[in-house]
Structure 1
Amino acid sequence: MSKEKLEVIKEADLTNNCPECFNQELKLTFYQKHKYSRLFHRTTGEVSNAITCKKCSSTIYPVNWTQDIERVFDYYQKMAHPEKKSLKFKPLFYALVLLLIALVASSAYLYLEGVIQF
């Protein structure tokens, strides 16, 4: 099965007030989803974000955002550049493909020589 992992693409410290504790230490983080399997590594186009307070460790959801937080979020969202969507195959995939090609080629050779019949 494939494993999913959120990798950080951009982090920023904000000086806006926390709606919970009114402290000025917020952290904005942008994540991009990556999927790992034995045969491939896929980078998806899904980008997520999270704003947390460093003092009270609470997550600030968009419902609680002030206009200042929204303005700063929009600014940093433009600066976060995710990796392009891609699919990279691992060596195990190529080994299986070569094994399959060799199996088909040897079966075709043995059939043409008359050793095996279908």
Structure 2
Amino acid sequence: MAKIIMEVIKEAELTNNCPECFNQELKLSFYQKHSHGKFVHKVTNEVSSEIKCKKCFTLIYPVTWTPDIERVFEYYQKTAIPQKSATKYTSLFYILVLIAIFIIAAGFYIVLNKENLF
């Protein structure tokens, strides 16, 4: 089972008013999805974001955004550059591939030299 981690790309402190408590301490975070498994580590293009108030600890959903919050979000969205998507194999994967190649090569060797072995 792959372990999915949302790694932070960019965080920013906003001075816009919270729609819930009208405090001026908001935190904008952009996350990129990373999948870590036993055989492979994947970095995806999937980017998510959230705006959270630092005083009332509520998530500010796009439905309740003011035009000011939307403008600031669009600006920071352009500056949040994710890593390129990539697939990286683990050492366990390479060990299993080498073992499989060795077993197949040994099988061919035994079949081709059957009369010389006995």
TM-score range, shorter chain: over 0.9
What does residue 5 of structure 2 align with? Answer: 5
Give the TM-score, by structure 1 length.
0.96
Q: Which position in structure 2 is the counterpart of 1:31?
A: 31
Q: TM-score, normalised by structure 2?
A: 0.96
Where do 4+ consecutive residues of structure 1 move more than 6 Å? Answer: none
Where does the alignment leave 5 or more consecutive residues of structure 2 unmatched?
none
CA distance in 2, matches of 1:84, 1:42: 10
Show the counterpart of 1:44: 44
Residues 52-72 of structure 1, C-alpha deviations (whole Å, 9 max, x = no match): 000000000000000000000
- Count of residues paired in the alignment: 115
2 CA distance for matches of 1:36 and 1:91? Answer: 13
**How many angstroms does 1:114 deviate by?**
1.3
**Where does the alignment leave 5 or more consecutive residues of structure 1 unmatched?**
none
What is the aligned partner in structure 2 of residue 15 from structure 1? 15
The share of aligned pairs that are identical, in percent, is 59
1:23-76 deviations in whole A, cap 9, x for unaligned? 000000000000000111000100000000000000000000000000000000
Q: CA RMSD in A?
A: 0.7
